[in-house]
Chain A
Amino acid sequence: MNTIIETRNLTVEYKAQSRGQPKKRALKGLNLKVHQGEVFGFLGPNGAGKTTTMNVLLGFVNPTAGDAFLFEVNVREPIARQRIGYLPELTYYYKFLTAEELLRFYAKVFRIPRAEADRRIDALLKLVELEHARKRPIKTYSKGMQQRVGLAQALINNPDLLILDEPTSGLDPLGRMKVREIIQRLKNEGRTVLFSSHELGEVETVCDRVAIINEGELKVEGSVSALVEQHNTNLEQVFLKIVGYQPQEAA
């Protein structure tokens, strides 16, 4: 099975906020592999290093040590990002553009020919149910609509790998269901999805495999069913146990 994402001994250190303080190690030698066609859940409490890992994969942050690869191309090369789609946690786009203009802009970035771009824009706006608002500036959209336009831009290049950072945060139940349907559809088409989420029920429903990281270290990696079976409980309890959560005794 082809490896789509690979990190080798990935370490990221951030500069100290003030003099005298030690550097902050956000990732400590992370080794991770995501295979083709998997829906891979990337879990961890806040500050665990999930976003830092994604930032390295997307080229926003350079690793202090180790390497990361997308499609076996080092993420330091911009071409590594040719076949990926990315949906940030908080979606903000050029608010003075309409959804159609925004998608056309990203299509130009991917050098998609005009006729093909037109076809994809129509199909994507239909998929995310924004056809009626395609000519309206994004600044007039609700949060859910902005999230959906974000999803559309992540799919404009027909990506083989989709990186979703908290894709359902801020969405209503219908919006969440829609995102799940899209992930399922991408999976059926043989595409790979990496997504981080705090909605563990959702992860359990959608993901084939998960990795749980804490304090920059990989704690566990495996298939959802195997983890649930091994610990004889649901994914949420597995997660809490692995990150060392101690419930307070009721007074």
Chain B
Amino acid sequence: MNIVFAIAGVVIKELYRRKDFYVLFVMTAVITLAMGSVRFFNDPKIALYLKDLCLLLIWISALVIAIATTARQIPAEREARTIFPLLAKPVTRWQVILGKFLGCWAACGIALVVFYLFFGLVSASREQAWHATIFLQGMWLQWSMLAIVIALCLLGSVVFAAPSSNATICFVIVGGILVLGRHLHKLAMQQPEPLGSIVTTIYFLIPHLEWFDVKDFIVYNNDSLRFADCALASLYAGFYTTFLLVATWIVFRRKPLNT
């Protein structure tokens, strides 16, 4: 695992030496603070709207960081030719894939901790209360969901040569699943055959990223989730992540790399 951690370390260093994360964090902070400083019609529920907005921005920012960071990993290694000195060492392609995944996932985890700390501060300043358990559960579930997104994007990065096309496709797929995923089976019932069966199959095949979205619980409920549910969701994320990483390795291991 030494090699995997070493590769992951380089990915994390790259993230904090680039500007993406800082820009997104400052943008989230500024928008949230600006919205928080305004009194809308003396509405007592303003704190809820503020939390909702802040969480939405965190979700968008985390997805941007995850996809933008992951999409460029393998193509950038190939374009900058850094992959060659690396693979000329006793490093397998599986270790490269795993290292890149761990690095991107850990980098997203660090970003999430910073975002959620800020969210906690904003929330506590408005409600004079900390709902630490549901915050931690929400963060954990979002991080688990990001594992699937990163693995999907990594698979895209060994299939598509251009990081921009990979990132765009990943955004469309992830956005599509988050918005439409839960409605696919209803849609399937309204379709004639064989389209109905195809949509139903897609419904059961895709990773349901929307299941990890507990924003409403955090904002409006504050009750913590059952730990068994969190564990099941984590297993679900683990299954899809493993499947996608193995698929990435299968594609990448036979790919000729010409200097």
Residues of A within 8 A of B87 (CB): 58-60
Q: How far is the CA of A61 from the CA of B87 in the complex (A)?
A: 11
**Residues B6 and A89 in contact, CB atoms below 8 Å apart:** no
Q: How far is the CA of A61 from the CA of B93 in the complex (A)?
A: 13
**Residues B14 and A82 in contact, CB atoms below 8 Å apart:** no
- Chain B CB within 8 A of A51 CB: yes
* Residue of B5, B9, B259 most packed against chain A (CB within 10 A): B259
> Chain A, interface size: which category?
35 or more
Please give me the residue from chain B that is nearest to A107 by CB atom.
B6
**Residues B81 and A90 in contact, CB atoms below 8 Å apart:** yes
- Chain B CB within 8 A of A129 CB: no
Chain B positions 2-16 with a Cβ under 8 Å from a chain A Cβ: 2-3, 5-6, 9-10, 13-14
Knowing A78-B91, A78-B92, A84-B88 touch, does A92 contact B80 (C-beta < 8 A)? yes
Q: How far is the CA of A39 from the CA of B41 in the complex (A)?
A: 82
Q: Give the shortest distance, in Å, between A76 (CB) and chain B (any CB).
A: 11
**Residues B10 and A94 in contact, CB atoms below 8 Å apart:** yes
Q: How far is the CA of A165 from the CA of B91 in the complex (A)?
A: 20
Q: Give the shortest distance, in Å, between A194 (CB) and chain B (any CB).
A: 13
Partner of B2, one of A82, A108, A150: A108
Q: Give the shortest distance, in Å, between A99 (CB) and chain B (any CB).
A: 14
Knowing A94-B10, A96-B18 touch, does A109 contact B259 (C-beta < 8 A)? no
Interface residue count on the B side (C-beta < 8 Å): 27
Chain A positions 61-110 with a Cβ under 8 Å from a chain B Cβ: 61-62, 78-82, 84, 86, 88-97, 101, 105-106, 108-110
Knowing A79-B90, A93-B85, A94-B10 touch, does A165 contact B259 (C-beta < 8 A)? yes
Knowing A108-B3, A109-B6 touch, does A60 contact B85 (C-beta < 8 A)? no
- Chain A CB within 8 A of B256 CB: yes
- Chain B CB within 8 A of A54 CB: yes
Please give me the residue from chain B that is nearest to A61 by CB atom.
B256
Q: How far is the CA of A237 from the CA of B92 in the complex (A)?
A: 42
14 A-B pairs with CB atoms under 8 Å apart are A14-B256, A51-B258, A60-B87, A60-B256, A81-B90, A86-B88, A88-B88, A95-B80, A106-B85, A109-B86, A109-B91, A111-B3, A153-B85, A165-B259
14 other contacts beyond A60-B259, A105-B9, A110-B89, with CB at 8 A cut-off?
Answer: A60-B256, A92-B80, A92-B82, A93-B85, A94-B14, A94-B80, A94-B82, A96-B13, A97-B10, A105-B6, A108-B6, A109-B3, A153-B85, A157-B89
Interface residues of A (CB under 8 A from B): 14, 51-52, 54-55, 58-62, 78-82, 84, 86, 88-97, 101, 105-106, 108-111, 150, 153-154, 157, 163, 165
